Each structure stands twice: as structure tokens, then as C-alpha cells.
Structure 1
Amino acid sequence: MLDILKEFEPVFSPKSVAIIGASRNPSKLGYQSLKALIEAGYVGKIYPINPNAENVGEYKSYPSILDVPDPIDLVIISLPPNGVLDAVKECAKKRVKGLVIFASGFKELDEQGAQTEREMVRICNEAGIKIIGPNTIGMMNAYSNLNASFAPIGKLPKGNISIISQSGGMGTTLLSYIIEANLGFSKYVGVGNRANVEIADILLYLRDDPNTEVICVFMEGLDKAREFLQVAKKVAREKAVLIYKVGKTEVSNKAAFSHTGSLAGSYHLYKAAFAQAGILEVIEPSELVDAAKAISILPPAKGDKVALITHTAGPSLVITEVLERYGIEMSVLSEETKRRIMESVPIGITVQNPVDLTGVAYVFSNLYGVVGKIILEDENVDALIAVYTPSFQPEISLPAKELIEITKATNKPVIAALISPNTYPIEEQVELEKNGVAVYRNPERTAKAMANYLKYWKLKRNQVQK
């Protein structure tokens, strides 16, 4: 355990960072990467490398990495592809520990690019240097305030979800989903061409990382699929591993190879192997973050039968349809549960699943607590979705306190579907999620999050039985 953490420590928690190609021009990646590093609050030493400037921002600039008098752990190379190999050679002489290489135009382009990348790898392997990339947006570690990318996003919100992506565009998309969902993250790694650091290497590191609980992978393809699956199976025993795999069609297969030089391979073989390894595969990229959120917040699921409580039928019907499409069974409430619910509601309602409290729930918001508790006590119910539409009516209070109370009284998962526009602030969301209730803002994502969460724990239960 200590070996893999120690091996990658200078990359993820460097004491010093140099930027070859640092620039004072806001349109250059060398400017954006320095800005990203500063805005994240990185507290180590920063060394801009620019032969044409004495200073870049507030920092003294050096003509070459070899002119820096101090040791350097991590180097960001922000140069055109034709300048990368010479920079790598200088970094090897400087005995740096890690490189982040933004440039594309290597093995994903043509044989000449592939040959240059192979030479790069040979030099770095001999010098013991880890390469993130090339052809990457970079990497981040929220717990060391490190943003070694060209995506300035300010302070990095800390959480327990880590992301590995072969696509920079999808990587930043997943990060934006995390920020939008009021979640933090632990690590982000854009592996790019995987010159000498494979997805499997990062998985092993994250398995032993104390700040990571859930690992999300956006995968295009692999050159060493068997080795990856062997590693992923080991990691999945200890951490939740979620994957979105592109290459389900012939067109996307070809596109994946031209993007990062990755062989997508037969999707059906990947699909079967993921399930066997205990890896949850999701259908849409947004489901990675939504499922990761549910897995990180909710307790383990003991079964996969779901009940809904609502005051409005439409969103609940959408949720039930999506759950059914994803293979999730709706609970059949016991007659005793139905009787207790009817006795608790001040007007006559027909009790079935979903349990529709109608508009009376606006007047008696405590019904979400009273009826929700009764539903969760039913042996036929493994999980509960509470649907509420605050809409644009801030004077109507949400049943947040009630949902927190019933969650604390049970070991069953509770998801709150607070159906409202994202422009409408829901202050209670943070409090709900601090207290073990996962919150989503539209019916489809609520249902998919619940479905993937339940599928994950079913995979885990099957693993235990084998």
C-alpha cells in the first residue's frame, strides 16, 4: 500500500511545480495553467519556465528547467508537440518525478507521433518519471490544492469521489456535474494517451488513497484490457468503481482510436467483464456522478425494491417508468402498511405504490415523516424516494426535517427528488445530504441514480456470495 502511494506522491502532492511554456498571454495554455495553479490555492513553490521573460506574473521566470536551482517534483509542459521531446529530455536531466503533458499529435495522430511518444516513454522510464498524458487536460488533487491543468476553476471543493477520464472534454463535464451537484472531489486524472501511466495504475493508487471512496471512469478503450480488468477487480473489492464506456458502435469505436489511440474493442466483451469484476457500468455519462453521489451518501442497500411517496403524480410516474426500464422492481406494500397509512392521512386517499398524499401534504408537511416512516417499516420496501415539488413557492416549507428524522431511524436508503429548476435555490439540500439523504433535482436523474445505486449493491452482494 505504502509503495503505490509513495510512488505517486510527488505527482499528486508535489512540493514544487514548474510550468515549461508559462506565458503572460491569456490566450495561451501556459497562462491558463499558471492561473489554475494559483487560483486553486497551491502552497508549494512555483517556477515558470519562459526564456523570453524575466517574470511571469509575480514569479521569477527561468530560461530552462535546468536553470532552476531547487529540486522540482512536478513539471507541466505547455508547449507545441514539436517542443515536447526536448523538454522531456531536460526534465530527465533535472530528475523531476512527474510530468503533465498537454500537447496532442503523438500516437493518436500517426506513426511519426507514435515514435516520438515511444522515445518519450523510454527516457521517462529510465529516469523514473511518471507521465500524465500526453494529449490531456491535466490532473487535480483537491486535498493538496493542486490544479495541474489548463482549466482554472478556482478553489477545488473537497469530497470523496475521484475521476479518471480518457477525454478532457468529458472530464471537465464530469467535474462540472460534481460542482453543480454541490459535491466535492478528491482526485481528477485526465490520462490522455496513457504514455506510461495506465488507468490501472491510477486505480491502484486511488484504492489506497484515504480521501477516495468512489472512483468514476470515463473509458474510450484499452491496449491491455486483461491487465486492467485484473486490477479493477481487486480495486472494486475495496472501493466503488463506476464506468462509462464509449465504443458501443462501430463509429464510436473508430472515433476512440483517432482521439487517444485507444483500441475500443468489442463492447459486449467489456460489458460482461465489468459485471464479473464487480464494476458498475452506467448508460449515460451524467449517471457516473449521480450514482457516485448516491453510493457515497446512502447506506448499503440490502435489497432492490423501491417505494415512492409524493404529493404530485406526474414526476412520480416518470420515476417509476425509468426505474422499470432500468430493471428495478417497485415494492408491493403490505395490507398492514396500507391500513396504517390511511389512518395517518386526514383525507381519504387510495394507497398504492407510489403513495400519493395529494395537495394535503402542502398543509401537513409532517405527513412525509409520518407516512415515510410507515413505508420504511414495511419488509417489502428496501429503499424510499420522496418526491416533492417546491417549484417557485419559497413560502412553502420542504419536509427536510421530516426526511432527516426518518432516515436516522432506519438503515434503509432515502432519496429526495426535489423537482424544481436549478435556478431555484434549495437551502435544505446541503443539510439533507449531510444527514444521509441524497437529493436530485429532476425525476429522470433521481430514478437513474436510485437504479444505479441499487445495481451497485446487488453486484456487491453477488460478489460476497461467490
Structure 2
Amino acid sequence: MTQGIRGLFAPERIAVVGATEREGSVGRAIWQNLDGFDGEVVPVNPRRETVFGESCFPTLADVPHDIDLVVVVVPPESAVDVVREAGERGVENAVVVTAGFGEAGSEGAARERDLQQVAEEYGVNLVGPNSLGILSTPRNLNATFGPGGALPGTLSFMSQSGAFITAVLDWANDQGIGFKDVVSLGNKAVMDETDFVDFWGEDDHTGVVLGYLEGIEDGREFIETARETTRETPIVLVKSGRTEAGAQAASSHTGTLAGSEEAYEAGLDQAGVLRAENVQELFDFARVLDGQPLPDGDSVAVVTNAGGPGVMATDAVGDSRLSMASFGDETIDALRESLPGGANVYNPVDTIGDADVERFRTAVDAALADENVDAAVVISAPTAVLDYAELAEAVVACQREHGKPMVACLMGGERATDAGRVLREGGVPNYFDPARAVRSLDALARQREITEREYGTPPNFDVDRERARDVLEQVQERGENRLGVEAMDLLDAYGIPTPKSEIVDTPEDAVNAAQDIEGDVVMKIVSPDILHKSDIGGVKVGVSPEEVYDAFEDLVTRARNYQPDATILGVQVQEQVDLDAGTETILGVNRDPQFGPLLMFGLGGIFVEVMEDTTFRVAPVTDREATEMLDEIQAAPLLRGARGRPSADRESVAETIQRLSQLVTDFPAILELDVNPLVATPDGVQAIDVRLTVDPDEL
């Protein structure tokens, strides 16, 4: 599709269906915005003979020339027919500006499905519907109904909000920020964010991909596509809607803790996408990524004439992945020689308030020459002895000479305007706030890590899929969608270690089962209707062989008293695992509607929902991703052997994460699953308990 998309942004001839001279109409606005287009624009409107002096054709079929792009500005009930006409003429690209589709109720949704079907039937690359339009500066193409265009540049920007685009372009023009392509995604009936990430990733004229998204259509496809793009081209996104999605209550720990926000956070990270918290950060990151080289490391030097802002920058470094550089002896000697006695020659370097441009330049030059410095922040407050424009020129010159990334924070109002222009033209971003400057350098360092990633391939373990399917099909036999410890064989089928156990339905069978297990046992009520067994006394630990018979009857009685109508499948008699010998963790999955199975790993046992010490990944996961999950939780030191404890078998834990990842990838019917606790010991792991929710229709 990439070659076809090129025609969206570089057409030779555009047909505007619905072009008109009527004041206040979208058709007029788009026609006028196309006035400077480096090609031909053809009006199509059966109600007009001319549009602003151009001959108007009643239908697309009447246009006697080839058409590369159709912009549709007709009522929604006619838009589907126009796209069909375009397809029949062999037009590959269309932008449907018209609203009144999926955002307009059931009738509109049905109309959108028809639009999608027609576009796919004829192979039309369709943007929208309900789109502001598209814009591309190399061809002076502005097929939008926005109030203005864009400055030329190398940023390519997509947004689900057309209003957001108009506001951003208006602001960016004031800031001198330019764009290559801009796309209003609209309802994404056919083309979505993944298509444009793919295209811009192969576009030599796009330096950074930016986006405002409210959702991602196919999370897995997006991850795979973005990984390829971000090897060369940074992607920065603002994703709105951080509240937990889904009104229905989740029945598992994982479902409770994993809302859509966790899925997006994990998915975008795995895709190599930098996530901005807000619009300001979106363009802060864009400017540094577009204008500066990637750093070799994370060590930063701060040079300032103002102590307070220097401390603010140092604090911001401490809050980031960056670190303050330790200068070498030669650098310290050079700074001592060039700076006055009251100056601080250690990092952050304070040139003090009476510093002129030459003193500043000497200090910046010394810092950048230090092999321990990977990047620099230059901060200045305005003074009577300092010419800001000259300082900006010196900063740009130092950056070019040393080739290390640099950001500036020349604080002030009118005094900083000319300096800001000099810096912008030199590719050095300037920020009023020192913390913003540091966060931008942090984004640059994160992009370096993204380009260096080796993702690998998720393993394919030798497992017993048929045995796993037999376990899952119990939900069909019982007419329920939940399984508990009776599904332990599911884990065993995928090579996840479990203690020896047996489910029995009489106290006599319980005694016999306990005799086959050495030592005391654990006994648990088995019921799909009782999710939190320990809350009702449905678990007994350390049951001796003599106590098994009575324990069975007591567990069943407790369950009946707690929930008389509960289905009691029996009692599990299980080998007792020494929990003190290891660390209780939790491993789970919740199926996200956009990204699919979302894995959770964290501190387990009874404290999982209290501590919420968890991390997430979209399945399937590679060995690197599984290992990263072990290090990201706050309880990671416990797994590494803190306070004299022996280290857990981390390889076994990581492998178990990957085995569960394969299980939930193989069986989309698994909606939620908890293994809690998963006990990690120096000798391996043991899955003590499991519960899951299954969609019988997916089996």
C-alpha cells in the first residue's frame, strides 16, 4: 500500500467533489485552500457549471483526465456512491471530509461499513470519513478546510482530532515549526495510524512522525510496523483517554489492575514509540529529535549563568534516565583558568551573573570537549552584559564543532526572540523551562536506546495443545466461563511447573490422595463461583494426614454456608510448597480489545491488589522483554537475592512468562488468567493456583 499512499501526498490532479462558491461551506474552503497547489484541481458538482471560473463537471465519470486524488465533500448519503465512482475510474486515493458516519449513530455506522466495503473492493486508499483533510508542503497541497496552511519542514503529523490539527498548525506557524505531511485520520474506516507510520517510515523526507491518537485499531500490527519505522525514524505520540476503559467488572486480579492505559503504555513502549504527556512535550521532543544527533551515552553537562535554573536542571536530570557528567581533570583545570574565582567549575558549571558571550562560549566548549560528556544544556538568564543573539550564535557554533547534542534554555521574553530564531535555524531547540530542556534530552537518549534494541523472536515451546484444549473445553461441558484450580493441567500442558495435586469429591478420596503426597498438604475448595477462596476460609495449609478427612468436610461446609447455590466441584489436595523458600509473584493476562493478550507480572500472594507492584507487556514476548519484566517491579531485589536471601531462578521465571505468553497467544478464548502465587525459588518456579475466564465461542 505504501506506493499507493504516495499519491495521497503527491498527486498531479485532484478532483474536489462538492466544490462550490457558497460562502461558509466546506467545499469552498477546501477549494480555496488548494489555490496554491502545484498541480491541477478539478471541481465536480452537478449543480454548478463553474467554480471560481473553472469548468465544473457533474460527476467524476465526466472528468476527461486521469485523477490521482478525490476529495469528497458531499452529503453522507452520497459519499459512498462518489467513492464507488472513484473506484470504477481507477482512482487510488480518496479523502472523505464528510461527517455523518460512525460517529453519528447506528445509521451512520452502517453507512461507514458500506464506505469501507466499497473502498476495499476497488482498492482505494481512503482517509476518513469525518476528516479535516490532508496537507503536504512539498507540493503546496492543502486539501483541508482549516483556516491556514503549514510551514515546510520534516515533521509528519497525524491526528484523530481535526480541531487539534487546526490549533496545532496555527500555533506552529507562530513558533516557526514546519511540517512535511499532515493527516486528519477521521473515523479511520480504511486507513489508520499503522498505514501512515509504515509510509512515513520509508519516506526520506520525514524526520519525525508525530501523532495525536484516541485509540489504535490493531495494536499488534501497530507494534510490528512501528518497530521497523523507529529503527530510523522517531515516533512521538500523545495518547488521550488515560482512564480505565470498560464498564464491566473484571473478575481476575489481572483484569482489575490492567485497564486500557496499561495496554497502551506497554504496547507503545514495545513498539519503540516515545509517548508525550501533552502537546507541549510532543513538540519539545519533536524539535530535539529533528535537529540534534543521538547522544553516545546518558551523561549531561549543564552550563549556566544563573544558579537557580542550574539547580532546576540538575533536579530534572535526577528525575530522568540521564546522569550529571563527572568532568575530567583537564576540563576542571580549563574551567578554573577561564572562569572567575566565584564560578563553579564542577557540573553544573556556573559562569556567574556577569558572564559575557566569550566566557559562556569558553565554558561550553570546555564541557563539550570532555569525553565524559555526551550532551549539554546551556541555561542563561538575561543580563545587561550579555547579548542573547550572539550567545545563541556561539551555542550553535559549539554544537556544530563538537557534534554532540545540545539544548538551550535562554530564558526571557522579547530579549530571547531573536536568540530563539538563531537557535531554531541552527537546529538547537530552545526552552524557557530548564526541566523541559532536560526532558527533551532524555527523549533523545531514549530514542538512542530504541535504535539499539534487538527485539528477537518469541520462542515456540514444545507444548501439548490438545491437552490444553481439553481443559478449556470444560467451560462448554459445564455451561460456565470460569475455571479454577481444576484447570491446573492447562499450565502443565504448557510446561509450567505445578505441585503434585488431585481434585477429589469425597473425604475418603481426599485421604487416599494425601497418602500419595509426602508430608502435610494444602486443601482448597474447588468452585468456579468462589473466586477468592482464602477470604471465606476455603483454603487450609499444613494439613496432616490425620486431619485430611475432617478438613474436607469443613471446607465443603464453609463453601455451602458462604454461597448455597455455588457449584462445588470438590476439593483439591495439593503438595505443600514452602512459600518462605521463595518469592510469591503473580503472572496473569487480560485480553485488551486493541492489543490482544496483555501480560502482567508482579509481586503476588494476597498483597497483589494492595501493593500493585506490577508491570505489563503485550504478548507474545521475547526473552529480552520477559527479562525486563523481572527488573521493572519494585520487588525486583527480592528476586535477585536481597538481604541475604538466595537469588531466585530468574531464567525459570522469564521462561514461565514466555510459556504463558505462548498459551494465551495460541488460545484467544482465554480472556483473563491469573497464576497466583507463582513461587520463585532458587530451584525454579511453582504455580500454586490458577483461575481463568474463557470465551466458549472462541474455542
Which residue of the partner structure matches residue 261 of structure 1? none
Give the match for residue 415 of structure 1: 407
Residue aligning to 2:21:
24
Q: 1:111 to 1:128 in 2, by over 3 A?
A: same
Higher relative contact order (CA 8 A, sep 6+): 1
Task: Give the 5 Å matches for 1:46-445.
Answer: 46-154=41-149, 156-250=150-244, 266-334=260-328, 336-361=330-355, 364-390=356-382, 397-421=389-413, 426-445=417-436
**Of 62-71 and 183-192, the range deviating more from structure 2:** 62-71
Question: Match of 1:164, SS?
Answer: strand
Question: What one-letter code is carried by the residue in structure 2 that aligns with 1:12?
Answer: F
1:372 Cα deviation from its structure 2 partner: 0.7
Range 409-418 or range 127-136, more displaced: 409-418
Q: Secondary structure at the match of 1:109?
A: helix
> Could you tell me how far apart the structure 2 residues matched to 1:54 and 1:304 are?
64
What's the CA shift string for 1:391-431, capped at 9, x where partnerless? 8999665312322332123132111212233x666334444
**CA 1:144 to 1:391, structure 2 compared with 1: closer, same or farther past 3 Å?**
farther
Q: Match of 1:139, as an amino acid?
A: I
Aligned-residue offset at 1:174: 3.7
Counterpart secondary structure, 2:340? coil
TM-aligned CA distance change 1:115 to 1:391, over 3 Å = farther
| Native 8 Å contact 2:389 2:419 kept in 1 | no
Distance 2:42 2:383 in 1: 50
Q: Which amino acid aligns with 1:281?
A: R
Q: 1:347 offset after TM fit, Å?
A: 4.4
Task: Note the alpha carbon deviations across 1:184-241, whole angstroms, 9 max, x for none.
Answer: 2111111121111121111111111121121112221123111111111121123112
2:444 is matched with 453
CA 1:19 to 1:234, structure 2 compared with 1: closer, same or farther past 3 Å?
same
Contact conserved, 2:4 with 2:93, CA < 8 A, in 1?
no
**Given the superposition, is the C-alpha separation of residues 100 and 391 from structure 1 closer, same or farther in structure 2, using an over 3 Å criterion?**
farther
- 1:309 alignment partner, SS class: strand
User: Is the contact between residue 157 and residue 183 of structure 2 (CA under 8 Å) also seen in structure 1?
Assistant: yes
Q: Are 2:116 and 2:190, in contact at CA under 8 Å, matched by a contact in 1?
A: yes
CA contact (8 A) 2:211 2:238 kept: yes
Tell me, in whole angstroms, the C-alpha distance in 2 between the residues paired with 1:202 and 1:408. Answer: 33
- 2:34 is matched with 37
Deviates more, 1:264-273 or 1:291-300: 264-273
Higher percent of residues as strand: 2
Equivalent pairs counted in the alignment come to 447
In the aligned structure 2, how far is the partner of 1:334 from the partner of 1:150? 57
Task: Give 1:103 shift.
Answer: 2.3
Once the two structures are TM-superposed, the CA of residue 72 in structure 1 deviates from its matched residue by 1.6
8 Å CA contact 1:177, 1:289 repeated in 2: no
Aligned counterparts of 1:26 and 1:457: Cα–Cα separation in 2: 50
Specify whether residues 317 and 59 from structure 1 end up closer, same or farther in structure 2 by C-alpha distance, changes over 3 A only.
farther
1:147 offset after TM fit, Å? 1.0
Q: CA deviation at 1:270?
A: 2.1
Take 2:185 and 2:133, find their aligned partners in 1: how far apart are those partners?
A: 8
Structure 2 CA distance for partners of 1:430 and 1:284, relative to 1, 3 Å: same
| Partner Cα separation in structure 1 for residue 399 and residue 146 of structure 2 | 38
Question: Does the CA contact (< 8 Å) of 1:242 and 1:282 recur in 2?
Answer: yes
Aligned to 2:529: none
Shift in Å at residue 16 of structure 1?
1.0
Q: CA deviation at 1:15?
A: 1.1
Q: Counterpart in 2 of 1:11?
A: 8
1:54 and 1:62 in contact (8 A); partners too: yes
**TM-score calculated relative to the size of structure 2:** 0.59
What is the TM-score normalised by the length of structure 1? 0.87
Show CA shifts across 1:38-68 (max 9, x none): 1xx2021111223333322232223333332
**Partners of 2:12 and 2:383 in 1: CA distance:** 48
Deviations 1:94-124 (A, max 9, x none): 3322111122232233232221111111112
Query: Gaps spanning 5+ residues in structure 2: where?
Result: 248-257, 457-623, 625-699
Q: CA–CA distance in 2 between the matches of 1:87 and 1:265?
A: 40
DSSP-derived class of the 1:291 partner: helix
What code does the residue aligned with 2:405 have?
A: P
SS of residue paired to 2:284: helix
**Contact kept in structure 1, 2:9 and 2:141, CA below 8 Å:** yes
CA distance in 2, matches of 1:442, 1:382: 21
Residues 5-14 or 115-124, more deviating = 5-14
Further displaced range: 384-393 or 269-278: 384-393
Q: In structure 1, what residue type is equivalent to 2:429?
A: A
SS in 2 for 1:218: strand
Partners of 1:126 and 1:191 lie apart in 2 by 20
